[in-house]
Homo-oligomer: A and B are copies of this chain.
Amino acid sequence: MTAASGQRMSVVALSGGIGGAKLALGLKRILAPDSLTVIANTADDFEHIGLSVSPDIDTLVYTLANLSNIELGWGRAGETWTFMDAMKLLGGETWFNLGDGDLAMHVQRTYRLNKGDSLTAITGDVCKALNVGARILPMSDQPVRTQLRADEGWLDFQDYFVGRQSEPVIHELRYTGIEAAQAAPDVIDAIRSTDTTAIVICPSNPLISIEPILAIAGIRDAIADASAPAIAISPIIDGNAVKGPTAKMLRELGHEATAATVLGRYEGLLDAYIADPRDMKSLQNTGSRVSMVPADIMMVTLDDRERLARTVMDVAAQLVS
Protein backbone atom coordinates (compact mmCIF):
# COMPACT_ATOMS: atom_id res chain seq x y z
CA MET A 1 0.00 0.00 0.00
CA THR A 2 1.27 3.41 -0.88
CA ALA A 3 0.14 6.86 0.16
CA ALA A 4 -1.27 9.33 -2.38
CA SER A 5 2.23 10.80 -2.46
CA GLY A 6 3.53 7.46 -3.72
CA GLN A 7 5.45 6.76 -0.51
CA ARG A 8 5.21 3.17 0.67
CA MET A 9 3.20 2.97 3.89
CA SER A 10 5.21 1.70 6.82
CA VAL A 11 3.48 1.37 10.17
CA VAL A 12 4.58 1.20 13.79
CA ALA A 13 1.75 -0.06 16.00
CA LEU A 14 1.58 -0.13 19.81
CA SER A 15 -0.38 -3.16 20.96
CA GLY A 16 -1.48 -5.30 23.85
CA GLY A 17 -2.95 -8.76 23.25
CA ILE A 18 -6.15 -9.85 21.57
CA GLY A 19 -7.80 -6.56 20.46
CA GLY A 20 -4.55 -5.04 19.30
CA ALA A 21 -3.52 -8.21 17.51
CA LYS A 22 -6.75 -8.15 15.49
CA LEU A 23 -5.91 -4.75 14.06
CA ALA A 24 -2.26 -5.72 13.62
CA LEU A 25 -3.39 -8.65 11.48
CA GLY A 26 -5.58 -6.33 9.41
CA LEU A 27 -2.64 -3.97 8.93
CA LYS A 28 -0.27 -6.77 7.98
CA ARG A 29 -2.73 -8.02 5.37
CA ILE A 30 -3.16 -4.69 3.60
CA LEU A 31 0.43 -3.46 3.80
CA ALA A 32 3.36 -4.49 1.63
CA PRO A 33 5.53 -7.27 3.11
CA ASP A 34 7.77 -6.23 6.00
CA SER A 35 6.03 -2.89 6.46
CA LEU A 36 4.65 -3.46 9.94
CA THR A 37 6.45 -3.15 13.26
CA VAL A 38 4.46 -3.92 16.41
CA ILE A 39 5.71 -2.66 19.76
CA ALA A 40 4.27 -5.17 22.21
CA ASN A 41 3.34 -4.58 25.81
CA THR A 42 5.34 -6.80 28.16
CA ALA A 43 3.90 -5.56 31.47
CA ASP A 44 1.54 -8.60 31.42
CA ASP A 45 4.54 -10.93 31.33
CA PHE A 46 5.12 -13.16 34.30
CA GLU A 47 7.03 -16.13 35.59
CA HIS A 48 4.83 -19.18 36.03
CA ILE A 49 6.15 -22.51 37.35
CA GLY A 50 9.59 -21.32 36.38
CA LEU A 51 8.64 -20.37 32.82
CA SER A 52 8.79 -16.87 31.33
CA VAL A 53 5.37 -16.20 29.81
CA SER A 54 4.79 -13.18 27.51
CA PRO A 55 1.06 -13.30 26.75
CA ASP A 56 0.83 -10.23 24.51
CA ILE A 57 3.88 -11.12 22.42
CA ASP A 58 2.56 -14.66 21.97
CA THR A 59 -0.94 -13.50 21.03
CA LEU A 60 0.60 -11.21 18.41
CA VAL A 61 2.85 -14.01 17.12
CA TYR A 62 0.05 -16.56 16.87
CA THR A 63 -2.37 -14.06 15.32
CA LEU A 64 0.06 -12.73 12.72
CA ALA A 65 1.36 -16.24 11.91
CA ASN A 66 -2.21 -17.51 11.44
CA LEU A 67 -1.62 -19.95 14.29
CA SER A 68 -4.21 -18.53 16.68
CA ASN A 69 -6.93 -20.65 18.17
CA ILE A 70 -10.16 -19.32 16.66
CA GLU A 71 -12.45 -21.46 18.84
CA LEU A 72 -10.88 -20.42 22.14
CA GLY A 73 -10.18 -16.82 21.16
CA TRP A 74 -6.71 -17.17 22.70
CA GLY A 75 -3.74 -19.50 22.44
CA ARG A 76 -2.57 -21.72 19.64
CA ALA A 77 -4.46 -23.59 16.92
CA GLY A 78 -4.54 -27.39 17.14
CA GLU A 79 -3.68 -27.21 20.80
CA THR A 80 -3.67 -30.25 23.15
CA TRP A 81 -3.79 -30.21 26.94
CA THR A 82 -1.91 -33.30 28.10
CA PHE A 83 0.59 -31.21 30.08
CA MET A 84 -2.18 -29.60 32.12
CA ASP A 85 -3.77 -32.99 32.82
CA ALA A 86 -0.42 -34.33 33.99
CA MET A 87 0.20 -31.24 36.14
CA LYS A 88 -3.19 -31.77 37.78
CA LEU A 89 -2.24 -35.38 38.57
CA LEU A 90 1.05 -34.16 40.02
CA GLY A 91 -0.71 -31.64 42.24
CA GLY A 92 1.09 -28.74 40.53
CA GLU A 93 -0.24 -25.25 39.82
CA THR A 94 -3.06 -25.35 37.29
CA TRP A 95 -4.77 -21.94 37.56
CA PHE A 96 -3.04 -20.68 34.39
CA ASN A 97 -3.68 -22.81 31.31
CA LEU A 98 -0.64 -23.70 29.23
CA GLY A 99 -1.33 -25.67 26.07
CA ASP A 100 1.16 -28.31 24.97
CA GLY A 101 2.17 -26.43 21.81
CA ASP A 102 2.16 -23.06 23.56
CA LEU A 103 4.60 -24.51 26.10
CA ALA A 104 7.29 -24.71 23.43
CA MET A 105 7.25 -20.90 23.26
CA HIS A 106 7.66 -20.53 27.03
CA VAL A 107 10.26 -23.27 27.43
CA GLN A 108 12.37 -21.96 24.56
CA ARG A 109 12.03 -18.33 25.73
CA THR A 110 12.98 -19.25 29.33
CA TYR A 111 15.92 -21.34 28.16
CA ARG A 112 17.30 -18.53 26.01
CA LEU A 113 16.65 -15.76 28.55
CA ASN A 114 18.54 -17.80 31.16
CA LYS A 115 21.41 -18.15 28.68
CA GLY A 116 21.52 -14.35 28.45
CA ASP A 117 19.71 -13.74 25.15
CA SER A 118 17.44 -10.70 25.04
CA LEU A 119 13.66 -10.87 24.71
CA THR A 120 14.06 -8.78 21.54
CA ALA A 121 16.42 -11.33 19.96
CA ILE A 122 14.29 -14.30 21.02
CA THR A 123 11.09 -12.68 19.72
CA GLY A 124 12.83 -11.82 16.45
CA ASP A 125 13.86 -15.46 15.96
CA VAL A 126 10.34 -16.66 16.75
CA CYS A 127 8.91 -14.25 14.16
CA LYS A 128 11.34 -15.59 11.57
CA ALA A 129 10.73 -19.27 12.42
CA LEU A 130 6.94 -18.92 12.33
CA ASN A 131 6.80 -16.61 9.28
CA VAL A 132 5.06 -13.87 11.21
CA GLY A 133 5.70 -11.44 8.34
CA ALA A 134 5.98 -8.47 10.67
CA ARG A 135 8.51 -7.27 13.20
CA ILE A 136 7.38 -7.66 16.82
CA LEU A 137 9.46 -5.67 19.28
CA PRO A 138 8.94 -6.09 23.03
CA MET A 139 8.63 -2.62 24.54
CA SER A 140 11.62 -3.38 26.77
CA ASP A 141 14.14 -6.13 27.44
CA GLN A 142 13.90 -5.38 31.17
CA PRO A 143 11.00 -6.72 33.23
CA VAL A 144 8.05 -4.38 33.84
CA ARG A 145 5.13 -5.83 35.78
CA THR A 146 1.65 -4.34 36.14
CA GLN A 147 0.28 -4.63 39.65
CA LEU A 148 -3.15 -3.63 40.91
CA ARG A 149 -4.08 -2.60 44.42
CA ALA A 150 -7.29 -4.21 45.64
CA ASP A 151 -8.77 -4.28 49.14
CA GLU A 152 -6.47 -7.16 49.98
CA GLY A 153 -3.32 -5.36 48.80
CA TRP A 154 -1.23 -5.39 45.62
CA LEU A 155 -1.99 -8.16 43.13
CA ASP A 156 0.22 -9.23 40.25
CA PHE A 157 -1.58 -8.72 36.97
CA GLN A 158 -2.09 -12.38 35.99
CA ASP A 159 -3.21 -13.25 39.52
CA TYR A 160 -5.87 -10.55 39.13
CA PHE A 161 -6.73 -11.13 35.48
CA VAL A 162 -6.61 -14.93 35.17
CA GLY A 163 -6.44 -16.14 38.77
CA ARG A 164 -9.28 -13.86 39.95
CA GLN A 165 -11.00 -13.25 36.61
CA SER A 166 -10.67 -9.45 37.11
CA GLU A 167 -13.21 -9.59 39.94
CA PRO A 168 -11.49 -7.64 42.73
CA VAL A 169 -12.29 -3.91 42.81
CA ILE A 170 -9.05 -2.02 42.15
CA HIS A 171 -7.96 1.28 43.68
CA GLU A 172 -4.57 1.87 42.15
CA LEU A 173 -2.27 0.57 39.45
CA ARG A 174 1.48 0.56 39.07
CA TYR A 175 4.14 -0.71 36.67
CA THR A 176 6.84 -2.25 38.81
CA GLY A 177 10.27 -1.92 37.22
CA ILE A 178 9.23 0.92 34.90
CA GLU A 179 11.96 3.32 36.10
CA ALA A 180 14.75 0.85 35.39
CA ALA A 181 13.30 -0.34 32.08
CA GLN A 182 14.72 1.04 28.87
CA ALA A 183 13.00 1.01 25.52
CA ALA A 184 14.20 -2.09 23.69
CA PRO A 185 16.69 -1.55 20.86
CA ASP A 186 14.95 -0.34 17.68
CA VAL A 187 11.79 0.82 19.48
CA ILE A 188 12.64 4.52 19.54
CA ASP A 189 14.30 4.32 16.13
CA ALA A 190 11.21 2.71 14.62
CA ILE A 191 8.96 5.45 16.00
CA ARG A 192 11.30 8.25 14.92
CA SER A 193 12.22 6.84 11.52
CA THR A 194 11.33 9.04 8.59
CA ASP A 195 10.41 5.81 6.77
CA THR A 196 7.54 5.36 9.20
CA THR A 197 4.36 6.77 7.71
CA ALA A 198 1.97 6.09 10.59
CA ILE A 199 2.10 5.37 14.31
CA VAL A 200 -0.97 3.41 15.33
CA ILE A 201 -2.17 2.98 18.90
CA CYS A 202 -4.26 -0.18 18.72
CA PRO A 203 -7.65 -0.50 20.46
CA SER A 204 -6.05 -2.16 23.49
CA ASN A 205 -6.73 -1.49 27.17
CA PRO A 206 -5.01 1.86 27.82
CA LEU A 207 -4.29 1.13 31.48
CA ILE A 208 -2.58 -2.21 31.17
CA SER A 209 -1.52 -2.48 27.52
CA ILE A 210 -0.72 0.91 26.00
CA GLU A 211 0.30 3.07 28.96
CA PRO A 212 3.03 0.71 30.19
CA ILE A 213 4.61 1.18 26.73
CA LEU A 214 4.15 4.95 26.92
CA ALA A 215 5.58 5.02 30.46
CA ILE A 216 9.00 3.83 29.34
CA ALA A 217 11.44 6.70 29.20
CA GLY A 218 11.63 8.19 25.72
CA ILE A 219 8.70 6.45 24.06
CA ARG A 220 5.99 9.09 24.72
CA ASP A 221 8.34 11.88 23.61
CA ALA A 222 9.39 9.96 20.52
CA ILE A 223 5.76 9.58 19.45
CA ALA A 224 4.97 13.24 20.17
CA ASP A 225 8.02 14.36 18.16
CA ALA A 226 7.81 11.81 15.35
CA SER A 227 7.38 12.98 11.78
CA ALA A 228 4.73 10.29 11.23
CA PRO A 229 1.17 11.04 12.35
CA ALA A 230 -0.14 9.14 15.37
CA ILE A 231 -3.60 7.61 15.20
CA ALA A 232 -5.41 5.82 18.00
CA ILE A 233 -8.47 3.61 17.79
CA SER A 234 -10.82 3.70 20.76
CA PRO A 235 -11.10 0.45 22.75
CA ILE A 236 -14.45 1.71 24.06
CA ILE A 237 -17.67 1.72 22.02
CA ASP A 238 -20.63 3.63 23.43
CA GLY A 239 -19.48 3.18 27.03
CA ASN A 240 -18.50 -0.49 26.79
CA ALA A 241 -15.19 -2.18 26.29
CA VAL A 242 -15.22 -4.52 23.32
CA LYS A 243 -13.57 -7.20 25.46
CA GLY A 244 -12.00 -7.61 28.85
CA PRO A 245 -12.01 -5.45 31.95
CA THR A 246 -11.14 -2.06 30.38
CA ALA A 247 -14.43 -0.34 31.30
CA LYS A 248 -14.54 -1.84 34.81
CA MET A 249 -10.94 -0.85 35.51
CA LEU A 250 -11.42 2.72 34.23
CA ARG A 251 -14.50 3.19 36.43
CA GLU A 252 -12.89 1.74 39.54
CA LEU A 253 -9.96 4.10 39.09
CA GLY A 254 -12.34 7.09 38.98
CA HIS A 255 -12.76 7.63 35.26
CA GLU A 256 -15.79 7.47 33.02
CA ALA A 257 -15.54 4.44 30.76
CA THR A 258 -15.82 6.41 27.53
CA ALA A 259 -13.98 6.93 24.29
CA ALA A 260 -13.34 10.50 25.49
CA THR A 261 -11.54 9.29 28.62
CA VAL A 262 -9.16 7.22 26.51
CA LEU A 263 -8.61 10.17 24.16
CA GLY A 264 -7.70 12.32 27.17
CA ARG A 265 -5.09 9.79 28.30
CA TYR A 266 -3.37 10.01 24.90
CA GLU A 267 -3.55 13.84 24.76
CA GLY A 268 -0.48 15.45 23.25
CA LEU A 269 0.34 12.34 21.24
CA LEU A 270 -2.40 12.02 18.65
CA ASP A 271 -3.15 13.49 15.27
CA ALA A 272 -6.31 11.47 14.79
CA TYR A 273 -8.67 9.37 16.88
CA ILE A 274 -10.96 6.79 15.36
CA ALA A 275 -14.08 5.96 17.35
CA ASP A 276 -17.62 4.70 16.97
CA PRO A 277 -20.08 7.21 15.44
CA ARG A 278 -22.15 7.09 18.66
CA ASP A 279 -19.16 8.53 20.54
CA MET A 280 -18.53 11.44 18.17
CA LYS A 281 -20.69 13.98 19.96
CA SER A 282 -19.04 13.54 23.36
CA LEU A 283 -15.62 13.50 21.70
CA GLN A 284 -16.32 16.80 19.95
CA ASN A 285 -17.47 18.23 23.29
CA THR A 286 -13.99 17.63 24.71
CA GLY A 287 -12.65 20.53 22.65
CA SER A 288 -9.70 18.40 21.60
CA ARG A 289 -7.88 19.51 18.44
CA VAL A 290 -7.28 15.90 17.43
CA SER A 291 -9.11 14.93 14.20
CA MET A 292 -12.08 12.77 15.14
CA VAL A 293 -12.87 10.02 12.65
CA PRO A 294 -16.14 8.11 12.99
CA ALA A 295 -15.90 4.50 11.85
CA ASP A 296 -17.22 1.05 12.61
CA ILE A 297 -14.36 -0.10 14.88
CA MET A 298 -15.87 -3.44 15.93
CA MET A 299 -13.70 -6.28 14.60
CA VAL A 300 -15.40 -9.65 14.41
CA THR A 301 -14.50 -11.06 11.01
CA LEU A 302 -11.22 -10.95 9.13
CA ASP A 303 -12.88 -8.48 6.73
CA ASP A 304 -13.60 -6.19 9.70
CA ARG A 305 -9.91 -6.15 10.55
CA GLU A 306 -8.86 -5.29 7.02
CA ARG A 307 -11.57 -2.65 6.73
CA LEU A 308 -10.50 -0.93 9.97
CA ALA A 309 -6.85 -1.18 8.92
CA ARG A 310 -7.76 0.53 5.62
CA THR A 311 -9.57 3.28 7.51
CA VAL A 312 -6.48 3.80 9.67
CA MET A 313 -4.22 3.98 6.64
CA ASP A 314 -6.59 6.34 4.79
CA VAL A 315 -6.54 8.66 7.80
CA ALA A 316 -2.75 8.46 7.91
CA ALA A 317 -2.49 9.24 4.18
CA GLN A 318 -4.71 12.30 4.56
CA LEU A 319 -2.70 13.55 7.54
CA VAL A 320 0.57 13.20 5.60
CA SER A 321 -0.65 14.82 2.40
Asked whether any CB of chain B lies closer than 8 Å to the CB of A209, the reply is: no
Contact B90 A104 (CB under 8 A): yes
Contact B108 A83 (CB under 8 A): no
Chain B, Cβ-Cβ closest to A47: B111
Asked whether any CB of chain B lies closer than 8 Å to the CB of A101, the reply is: yes
Chain B, Cβ-Cβ closest to A99: B82
Chain B, Cβ-Cβ closest to A78: B82
Report A164-199 residues with CB < 8 Å from chain B CB: none
* Interface residues of A, dominant DSSP: helix
Asked whether any CB of chain B lies closer than 8 Å to the CB of A129, the reply is: yes
Contact flag A86-B76 (CB < 8 Å), given A49-B107, A110-B50: yes
Report the minimum CB–CB distance from A92 to chain B (whole Å). 5
Contact A125 B91 (CB under 8 A): yes
Measured CA separation A86–B107 after assembly (Å): 11
Stoichiometry, as copies per complex, reads: 2
Question: Which residues of chain B have C-beta atoms less than 8 A from A111's C-beta?
Answer: 49-50
Identify the A interface with B (CB < 8 A): 49-51, 76, 78-80, 82-83, 85-87, 89-92, 99-105, 107-108, 110-111, 114, 125-126, 129-130
Contact B76 A105 (CB under 8 A): no
Contact B129 A90 (CB under 8 A): yes
Contact A87 B108 (CB under 8 A): yes
Contact A80 B100 (CB under 8 A): yes
Contact A83 B101 (CB under 8 A): yes
For this complex, 15 residue pairs linking A to B, each with C-beta atoms less than 8 Å apart, are A49-B111, A50-B114, A78-B82, A83-B100, A86-B101, A87-B104, A89-B129, A89-B130, A90-B104, A90-B105, A90-B108, A91-B125, A91-B129, A92-B104, A103-B103
Contact A104 B129 (CB under 8 A): no
Question: Which residues of chain B have C-beta atoms less than 8 A from A100's C-beta?
Answer: 80, 82-83, 86, 100, 103
Contact flag A86-B114 (CB < 8 Å), given A49-B108, A108-B49, A129-B91: no
Contact A126 B90 (CB under 8 A): yes
Report the minimum CB–CB distance from A220 to chain B (whole Å). 34
Measured CA separation A96–B135 after assembly (Å): 31
Question: Which residues of chain B have C-beta atoms less than 8 A from A114's C-beta?
Answer: 50
Report the minimum CB–CB distance from A289 to chain B (whole Å). 46
Contact A83 B110 (CB under 8 A): no
Chain B, Cβ-Cβ closest to A79: B82
